[in-house]
Amino acid sequence: MKIAVVTPKSVSCERGGAENLYDGLVSALNRAGHQATKIDILVDESSFEKILESYCNCFYLNLDDYDLVISTKAPTYMVRHRNHISYLLHPIRVFYDMFNVEYNSNDKEKQKQKKLIHEFDKYGLNPARIKKHCVIGEVVAQRMRDADPFWNDVNFKVIYPAPIISTFLEPQTGEFIFLPGRLHRWKRIDLIIKAMKYLKNDTRLLLAGVGEDANDLRKLVHKLGLEQKVQFLGKVSNEELLDLYSRSILVPFVPIQEDYGYITIEAFGAKKPVITCKDSGEPANIVQDSINGFIVDPDPEKIAEKMDYLIEHPEETVLMGEKGFQSVQNIKWENVVKELLDDLQICSENKVTSKINVLITDTQPIDPAVGGGRLRLKGLYSNLGDNIKPLYIGTFDWKGEKRREVAISRSFNEFDIPLDNEHFKLNEYFNKLLPDKTIIDSIFPFLGEASPEFVKAVRKEAEKADVVIISHPWLYPIIKTEVNLKNKVLIYDSQNCEAILRTQLLGSSSFAKCIVNMVKFVEKELCEESDLILACSEVDKQQFEQLYDLDSSKVEVFPNGVDAKEIKPIGEDIRINYKKKLNLAPKTVIFVGSEYAPNVEAGNFIINTLADESPDVYFLILGGVGNQLNSKSKSNVKIYGRVSEEEKNMLLSASDIAINPMLHGSGTNIKMFDFMAAGLPTISSPVGARGIVNEDSFIVAELSNFSAEIHRVLSNKDIYNRLSLNGRILVEQYYDWNKISSALGKKIVTLYQDNLPYFSVIIPTLRGEQLHNLIQRLNQQTYTNFEAVIVDSGENREASLQKLCNFKLKYVFDKKAGAVQARNIGLKHAEGKIIAFTDDDCEPDSNWLKNAKELFERKNIIGIEGYIFSDETKRNDPSYRLVTNEGFEGLGFMTANLFIRRDILEIIGGFDERFDKPHFREDTDLAWRAQDYGSIPYSRDVRVYHPPHFRNNKGESQKERDKFFINDPLLFAKHPDKYIRLMKTEGHYKHNDDFWQFFLEGYRNTDEQIPINVLLKDKEIRKFVPEELRNA
């Protein structure tokens, strides 16, 4: 396996026991045949902000190319991966057992930091994310349990890591007390130094290593007058370390709650006894008191007492050292690797579609997000979730733009491709039939082919997508004509009920009626074909259900909203400052709208009516609507036109009230949510408040009452404050884009999973001459919940094949792939619960999948071996080779007709690619390995016709086929008993003169241990075994 070992790298780049552990683990994994790589992540613990940054860096690390990830110390376990083992050295200890040691327990800020780190750790190490929890010591697991009851239900497995030093020098007569390691206060070296004060003899203490507390320790030695008894060696080489261990008497290792402590293991490896303390953590679990060392209270006199004892009893000291050596003999890296990977169910390499590919498309851009439509596109699709990969393809409904790419959010990209000039010319022609009306969007189904580059891009991405979301119905006919949408999740994001809205907007002329009827036809079909329809409000939902006679469960409300984090209420002092800065009146009312006819109508109402009725109020009009308005005659109206988000937020903050005097329109008005998010009391017409929940959060009034309502709110602080507060609460509860988008993401995942196929039919191909016949047979299947995965190593023929399929086809072109590798590639792309294998020239019965499905439902099985039959009239014709499994049922297993559960294939790792080129016996080996997990019965009802192969075809002559026996020794080595049965059933060993020639060639080439004795034990086979094998 390709394995990533994720490790923290300190800013200081100092090396210690942890770094030795990482190197030892990576080396051991590589020795075990894996491809292991150490992935260093810089972790800076100098400040809490830096710690949080390190957590984020680990979370965003992409290791999808690896089969397995092993995380180590905090915060590496934040990494996201389908196969994640936590081999936990420790979390950040200052937020766990050392919190009260390092910080004031009454420090509220530190308490908050501690709580946050604990929450992060519960997420990162949650059993839902981790396949296996391992720790380097029981003390690590107990530390977690002591911190939070959450960890009581986590099954931590203790695996002691081996030291990087595997061979120690033979022990010599002891000369000194020796302690290597980091000079840090948590190692409590000061205890050992103080113990030297009580030592009864002149034995020296040698300290090897460096660390942040070295100076303090030197001062302590000087203070106690121990310069002659304690020597600081600094950093030593491995050779010097081995020599010091061999010449030492004992090793005192007395840290506080140590996670593991390599020093204990190294000392025992050098056959030296260890003195540790009762509160030293894992060393106290490794040392056996009075057997291979001593465990004492953390008291200098107690430590000195045991050091004196070992110095004065050299024979017992040697014996303890020997027992320590015996106690660590099983702590070896090969055992660590075995325990880490044992019983681990590995999901095969991440699916090419590990994230759900979602295409969202419309005939407008998103950025800049001005107007309700664009704001909805930005808000609704920016926070769908980590397991969704959204892509937006849009265009511009005006001239002069260039192709562009925009990052809307961290995970959401926008691609815009301009419409062609021919498209605009045609639109101008049609617009003459309906002057002063915008129709470029609604007649797009007529004119789409006039912009081939845009249409081609949309169709291309729709082909690749798992989920297609069509915002407005305009692009549906363009996609539908060329893309098989039946194998995808189709969602209609209905920003309005377009049939109703276009009737309002376009008028009653003959041409207008033609457009409206076309819109209604397209929208109706889109609604009927969609798996889900998104409505902006309950009103819209009811309109769709009634107009198109839709099932209520098919339409769900995902309302418009606002980013409640971006637009927030402000204090009165700040509002006054903004008013001064912008030179605004004390009573300021704001309206926002795009260049859209109903908004223009509302703007004119403000200028021509409301401004006159309320001369003491200053009215601001923001947005594209200003391009269609003229307020020169009104001193209390200011038109700002389009402004940046920053400017809009400032103007919202400077205003006192927001109004929305809409008379026409459909859907919900997003501006309402901007107003309420900013804490502005809001007054709306019934149309403007359409579809929005009102929990005393805003005022709904007829336009004739707007002026009175404005003055009532401005003159009554209680009403003003109540509306301000309730509006903000309403937005946070129902209309926050972050929540709405996240909810939609979960719905998409559910729809996608419900839409996953039961079967994935994997088909490798090279020549592809008979693929059309196979596709026709698959089109005729009576059970239709399946996908096909074609892996083609001949030529790229995806476009032509996609057009033939009425089922979901995944096509992979890989020129280098042999048949065995191609099937493994297919497995990586497959999403079905059951994998069905067949060949590119086979012809399954129409009930092939139906009968297989019934068998899987009736029996507790992990696979099916289907019946393979051929043209019996050619059985005795030497010009043909018949392909059938008759007579080999339950033994041979052929991928012309074989079903196996995908989870089993993932556990066993798919096909053994050593059987490739020539591809032979790989299917037999696969099924035999799968049988270790359950039954694979034979069924004559699950039928596939395999046409006979003409012997004159390339690779089909008897001589060419005999060369395939070169793979038999490998199959024999892996499955001796089953192979003997197959060998005797086939009879090649006694009837085919070339069999043994190629068996011998395979025997010479394989690295596997071939059990020749098994061949020779069979009396019947032994007579035919060549001399070379007999003497092997």
Mapping DSSP onto H, E and C, the string for 551-586 reads CHHHEEECCCCECCCCCCCCCHHHHHHHHHHHCCCC
Question: Whole-angstrom Cα distance, residue 225 to residue 84?
Answer: 52
pLDDT digits over 842-874, tens only? 999 999 999 999 999 988 899 999 999 999 888
Q: What is the dihedral of CA 605, 611, 614, 616, to 10 degrees?
A: 150
Q: Which two tokens stand for residue 817?
A: 């792939």
Reduce the DSSP state of residue 913 to 3 states and report it. Answer: helix
**With bands split at pLDDT 50, 70 and 90, how would you rate the model's confidence at 881?**
confident
The average confidence (pLDDT) of the chain is: 92
Looking at residue 955, its pLDDT comes to 65
Contact 678, 563 (CB under 8 A): no
Looking at residue 1, its pLDDT comes to 79
Contact 927, 889 (CB under 8 A): no
Looking at residue 354, its pLDDT comes to 60
Question: Whole-angstrom Cα distance, residue 422 to residue 408?
Answer: 29
pLDDT digits over 573-620, tens only? 889 999 999 999 999 999 999 888 899 999 999 999 999 999 999 999
> How many CB atoms are located within 10 Å of the residue 258 CB?
28
Question: Whole-angstrom Cα distance, residue 986 to residue 995?
Answer: 11
Over residues 716-743, the mean pLDDT reads 94
Q: List the beta strands (DSSP E) in 814-955.
A: 834-837, 843-844, 863-869, 880-881, 898-901, 938-945, 949-950
**With bands split at pLDDT 50, 70 and 90, how would you rate the model's confidence at 957?**
confident
| Res 412 pLDDT > 70 | yes
CA torsion through residues 568, 574, 580, 585, sign: positive
576, 605, 731 from 659: Cα distances, Å: 20, 11, 17
Question: Whole-angstrom Cα distance, residue 392 to residue 785?
Answer: 28
DSSP code of residue 291? T
Question: Whole-angstrom Cα distance, residue 331 to residue 810?
Answer: 48
| Res 233 pLDDT > 80 | yes
Contact 603, 688 (CB under 8 A): no
**With bands split at pLDDT 50, 70 and 90, how would you rate the model's confidence at 499?**
very high
Looking at residue 319, its pLDDT comes to 95
| Res 350 pLDDT > 70 | no
Token look-up 């509220």 returns 108
Looking at residue 353, its pLDDT comes to 45
> How many CB atoms are located within 10 Å of the residue 115 CB?
11
Contact 798, 811 (CB under 8 A): yes
> How many CB atoms are located within 10 Å of the residue 590 CB?
26
More confident residue, 703 or 1025: 703
**With bands split at pLDDT 50, 70 and 90, how would you rate the model's confidence at 359?**
very high
Partner residues linked to 10 by β-bridges = 43
Partner residues linked to 133 by β-bridges = 86, 156
Q: What percent of the chain is modeled with pLDDT above 70? A: 98
- Domains defined along the chain, listed by start: 2-158 (3.40.50), 176-331 (3.40.50.2000), 356-557 (3.40.50.2000), 572-735 (3.40.50.2000), 758-956 (3.90.550.10)
Over residues 182-191, the mean pLDDT reads 93
Q: Which two tokens stand for residue 539?
A: 């009103």
**With bands split at pLDDT 50, 70 and 90, how would you rate the model's confidence at 351?**
very low
Question: Whole-angstrom Cα distance, residue 494 to residue 526?
Answer: 10
Phi/psi at 429 (nearest 5 deg)? -65, -50
658, 725, 726, 745, 820 from 695: Cα distances, Å: 17, 11, 7, 27, 64
**With bands split at pLDDT 50, 70 and 90, how would you rate the model's confidence at 967?**
very high
Looking at residue 349, its pLDDT comes to 47
Alpha helices in 382-509 (DSSP H): 421-431, 444-447, 452-464, 476-480, 498-506
What's CA 921's distance to the chain center, in Å? 35
282, 745, 810 from 99: Cα distances, Å: 19, 39, 54
Question: Whole-angstrom Cα distance, residue 864 to residue 845?
Answer: 15
Token look-up 């390339």 returns 954
Looking at residue 352, its pLDDT comes to 42
Q: How large is the C-alpha radius of gyration of the chain?
A: 38
Strands 808-813 and 786-792: parallel
Q: Which of 601, 585, 602 is nearest to 672 (CA)?
A: 602
Looking at residue 401, its pLDDT comes to 95
Q: Which of 473, 353, 194 is nearest to 757 (CA)?
A: 353
Q: Which of 984, 846, 848, 863 is nearest to 923 (CA)?
A: 863
pLDDT digits over 88-121, tens only? 999 998 899 888 888 888 889 999 999 999 999 9
Token look-up 């074909």 returns 529
Question: Whole-angstrom Cα distance, residue 262 to residue 162?
Answer: 8
Q: List the beta strands (DSSP E) in 563-676.
A: 588-592, 618-622, 637-641, 657-660
Phi/psi at 813 (nearest 5 deg)? -105, 120
Question: Whole-angstrom Cα distance, residue 281 to residue 983?
Answer: 59
Token look-up 């008497």 returns 249
Contact 501, 536 (CB under 8 A): no
**With bands split at pLDDT 50, 70 and 90, how would you rate the model's confidence at 627?**
very high
973, 992, 1020 from 1017: Cα distances, Å: 15, 21, 9
* Axis-axis angle for helices 238-247, 262-269 (nearest 10): 60
- DSSP per-residue letters across 787-819: EEEEEESS---HHHHHHH-SSEEEEEE-TT--H
Question: Whole-angstrom Cα distance, residue 214 to residue 193?
Answer: 12
Q: Which helix (H) or strand (E) holds 176?
A: strand 176-180
Q: What is the dihedral of CA 321, 327, 332, 337, to 10 degrees?
A: -150
**With bands split at pLDDT 50, 70 and 90, how would you rate the model's confidence at 346?**
low
Question: Whole-angstrom Cα distance, residue 230 to residue 195?
Answer: 11
| Res 384 pLDDT > 80 | yes
Over residues 730-757, the mean pLDDT reads 92
Question: Whole-angstrom Cα distance, residue 336 to residue 341?
Answer: 9
Q: Which of 608, 648, 604, 657 is nearest to 626 (CA)?
A: 604
Question: Whole-angstrom Cα distance, residue 142 to residue 97?
Answer: 10
Over residues 780-788, the mean pLDDT reads 95
Q: Report if pTM > 0.95.
A: no
Question: Whole-angstrom Cα distance, residue 139 to residue 279?
Answer: 10
DSSP code of residue 107? -
Q: Which two tokens stand for residue 533?
A: 């329809």
Question: Whole-angstrom Cα distance, residue 495 to residue 377?
Answer: 10
Question: Whole-angstrom Cα distance, residue 702 to residue 711?
Answer: 15
Q: What distance separates the 2 farthest-apart alpha carbons in the chain?
A: 115
> How many CB atoms are located within 10 Å of the residue 1017 CB?
11
Q: Which of 4-13, 427-436, 952-961 has the highest mean predicted lDDT (pLDDT)?
A: 427-436
Strand arrangement of the beta sheet that strand 863-869 belongs to: 808-813, 786-792, 759-765, 834-837, 898-901, 863-869, 938-945, 843-844
Q: Which helix (H) or strand (E) holds 989?
A: helix 988-991
Q: Which of 513, 515, 547, 542 is nearest to 528 (CA)?
A: 547
| Res 343 pLDDT > 80 | no
Phi/psi at 976 (nearest 5 deg)? -55, -50
pLDDT digits over 901-911, tens only? 998 998 888 99
Looking at residue 887, its pLDDT comes to 85
Q: What's the chain's length in residues?
A: 1032
